C-alpha cells in the first residue's frame, strides 16, 4: 500500500526541517522556562511542583552530581539506551539542550514544554504526550549517560573520550543479546509512579525524533537496593534482601573513593568534563525462578550466604551483624560457604572494591515455553568500571553457585557527566 499524500508531506516536512525545528524548541524553551514555570504552575496546580511532602514531592534537578545516582532509590524505573542516527553534531547538541530544558520541567511535575498538552491549538501536534498531566512530580529523577560508541569519528569527540569508558570484556557464562546491549546514549528515569517515569522517557525520545532511535529499553519495579540509610533493604525476585552492604548517600568519603570521578583520574585532562560524574554499568540478569522455586531453603541460603527471613549473614542473627567469614557451622565447615554470593562480592575478598548498586526487579512476560522472563536489571555506579565492576564480575562468573540459576543477557556501560547549574545543559562541557 502506498502512503497517503498527507503522510508523505508530513514525512518530508520533518526530514527537511527537523534540525531547525529542534533548535527552535531549544531557544523557545530556554527563553520562556523561568517566566513560564511560576505562571504555569499557578494556572494548573497539577502541572507545577507538588505541594505535598514525601513520595510526590519533586527532587532538585540541578546540583554537583546528577540526581538519580545517590538519590534515595525510587520504586519504579524506565531505562532506555539509544543510537544516534544523525551525523550532525549541531543537531545532537541542540537535542541535548532540548532534553535538559524538558527534564528540568518534568522533574518539577510540569509538561515537557510550556503549554505542551493543548497550548498549540487543535491544528498542531501536542508538545507533551499528556499521560502524566494530572500527576505530581513523584520524585522523578532523569539521569543521562554517554556510551563508548558515541566517541567515534561522527561528532569530533574522539579526543574527549575518557580512558575508563570502554565496552565491558566478555565474561564466562554470558549469553548477551545485541538487541539488549550497548548504545550511544542512555536515559535512566526513576520515580515513585511508573507512569511518570515512562512519560519522561517517552517525551525525551519524542524530542529526539530524527536524531536518536531506541536501541533497547527496560522497565523496572521494586528497587533492589537502598541508596540511603533511611531506606529499608528491599528483596529481589529470589525473595532475599538485596544490597545490604550497599554504599549510601550518607557516606561522602566512600562515595568520593568509589563512585565519583576525580579531575585527576584521566591523565592529560582529555576527560576533565567527567569530574564529579560516574560510570553506569547496566546488566540484564534473567533469573530462572521456576528452578529456584523448587530449591530447598537450606540450599538457597547457602548459595546466597544470608538467611532468607532476616537477611542476616549465616551464623549471625541480624541483617547488619558484621560478616564473619571465619565462623564455623555445626558441622565444622564455614558457616558462609566458600562459593556463597556474599563472600565472593565482599570487599574483603576483592581488595577493598565497592560499588553503588541501584537495580530493579523486572518481569517481561513469558519466554514462550511457559517460563516467566523475570529477573534483576542490575545497575551500578562506579568510579572506574575496569577497576571495580570487571574484577567483581570475573570473580562471580568463575565461582558463584548462583550462576546455575541466572544468565546475563544484556550489558552496557555509560559515562554519566556531573550535575549542572541552572542555565547549563547536558553535554555543554563535552561539546565545548
| Domain spans of the chain, in order of start | 5-223
- What is the crossing angle of helices 89-106 and 5-43, to 10°? 40
- Tell me the pairing of strands 185-191 and 76-84: antiparallel
C-alpha 380/C-alpha 314 separation (Å) is: 25
What does each of the 432 residues of the chain score in pLDDT, given as a tens digit?
Answer: 444 433 333 333 334 444 444 544 444 443 443 334 333 433 333 333 333 347 899 999 999 999 999 999 999 999 999 999 999 999 999 999 999 999 999 999 999 999 999 999 999 999 999 999 999 999 999 999 999 999 999 999 999 999 999 999 999 999 999 999 999 999 999 999 999 999 999 999 999 999 999 999 999 999 999 999 999 999 999 999 999 999 999 999 999 999 999 999 998 778 899 999 999 999 999 999 999 999 999 999 999 999 999 999 999 999 999 999 999 999 999 999 999 999 999 999 999 999 999 999 999 999 989 999 999 999 999 999 999 999 999 999 999 999 999 999 999 999 999 999 999 999 999 998
C-alpha 313/C-alpha 342 separation (Å) is: 8
Instruction: Give, in order, the Cα–Cα distances in Å from 112 to each of 20, 121, 154.
Output: 19, 16, 29
Instruction: Give, in order, the Cα–Cα distances in Å from 158 to each of 152, 165, 271, 281, 396.
Output: 6, 12, 11, 21, 33
C-alpha 418/C-alpha 429 separation (Å) is: 10
**372 sits in which H/E element:** strand 372-382
Question: For residue 111, how far is the Cα from the chain centroid?
Answer: 22
Give the Cβ contact number of residue 191 at 10 Å: 30
413, 53 contact by CB (below 8 A): no
Q: At which residue does the C-alpha cell 530493579 appear?
A: 360
- The residues, any chain, with a CB within 8 Å of residue 330's CB and separated by 6 or more, are none
For residue 379, the model assigns a pLDDT of 98
> Phi-psi category of 394—alpha, beta or left, where left has phi over 0 and alpha has psi -120 to 50?
alpha
For residue 194, the model assigns a pLDDT of 98
Nearest alpha carbon to residue 95 among 432, 429, 426, 373: 426
For residue 173, the model assigns a pLDDT of 96
Amino acid at each position: 500500500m502506498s502512503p497517503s499524500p498527507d503522510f508523505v508531506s508530513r514525512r518530508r516536512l520533518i526530514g527537511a526541517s527537523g534540525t531547525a525545528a529542534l533548535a527552535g524548541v531549544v531557544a523557545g524553551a530556554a527563553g520562556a522556562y523561568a517566566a513560564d514555570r511560576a505562571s504555569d504552575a499557578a494556572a494548573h496546580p497539577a502541572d507545577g511542583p507538588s505541594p505535598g511532602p514525601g513520595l510526590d514531592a519533586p527532587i532538585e534537578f540541578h546540583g554537583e552530581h546528577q540526581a538519580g545516582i545517590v538519590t534515595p532509590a525510587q520504586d519504579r524505573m524506565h531505562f532506555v539506551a539509544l543510537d544516534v542516527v544523525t551525523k550532525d553534531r549541531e543537531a545532537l547538541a541542540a537535542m541535548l539542550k532540548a532534553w535538559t530544558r524538558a527534564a528540568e520541567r518534568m522533574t518539577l511535575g510540569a509538561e515537557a514544554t510550556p503549554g505542551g498538552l493543548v497550548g498549540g491549538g487543535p491544528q498542531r501536534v501536542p508538545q507533551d504526550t499528556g499521560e502524566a498531566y494530572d500527576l505530581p512530580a513523584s520524585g522523578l529523577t532523569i539521569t543521562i549517560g554517554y556510551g563508548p560508541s558515541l566517541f567515534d569519528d561522527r561528532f569530533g569527540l574522539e579526543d574527549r573520550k575518557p580512558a575508563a569508558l570502554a565496552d565491558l570484556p566478555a565474561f564466562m557464562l554470558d549469553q548477551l543479546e545485541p538487541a539488549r546491549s550497548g548504545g550511544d546514549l542512555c536515559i535512566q528515569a526513576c520515580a515513585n509512579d511508573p507512569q511518570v517515569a515512562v512519560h519522561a522517557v517517552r517525551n525525551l525520545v519524542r524530542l529526539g525524533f530524527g536524531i536518536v532511535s531506541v536501541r533497547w529499553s527496560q522497565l523496572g519495579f521494586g528497587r533492589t537496593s537502598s541508596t540511603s540509610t533511611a531506606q529499608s533493604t528491599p528483596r529481589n525476585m529470589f525473595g532475599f534482601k538485596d544490597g545490604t552492604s550497599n554504599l549510601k548517600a550518607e557516606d561522602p568519603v566512600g562515595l568520593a573513593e568509589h563512585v565519583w570521578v576525580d579531575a585527576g583520574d584521566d591523565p592529560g585532562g582529555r576527560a576533565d568534563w567527567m569530574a564529579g560524574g560516574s560510570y553506569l554499568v547496566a546488566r540484564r540478569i534473567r533469573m530462572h525462578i521456576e528452578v529456584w522455586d523448587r530449591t530447598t531453603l537450606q540450599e538457597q541460603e547457602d548459595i546466597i550466604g544470608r538467611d532468607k527471613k532476616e537477611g542476616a549473614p549465616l551464623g549471625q542473627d541480624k541483617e547488619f551483624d558484621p560478616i564473619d567469614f571465619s565462623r564455623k557451622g555445626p558441622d565444622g565447615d564455614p558457616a558462609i560457604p566458600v562459593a556463597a554470593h556474599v563472600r565472593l562480592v565482599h570487599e574483603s575478598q576483592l581488595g577493598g572494591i565497592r560499588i553503588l548498586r541501584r537495580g530493579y526487579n523486572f518481569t517481561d512476560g513469558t519466554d514462550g515455553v511457559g517460563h516467566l522472563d523475570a529477573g534483576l536489571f542490575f545497575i551500578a555506579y562506579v568510579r572506574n568500571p575496569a577497576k571495580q565492576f570487571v574484577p567483581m564480575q570475573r570473580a562471580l562468573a568463575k565461582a558463584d553457585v548462583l550462576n546455575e540459576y541466572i544468565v546475563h543477557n544484556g550489558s552496557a556501560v555509560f559515562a554519566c557527566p556531573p550535575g549542572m547549574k541552572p542555565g547549563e545543559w547536558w553535554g555543554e562541557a563535552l561539546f565545548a
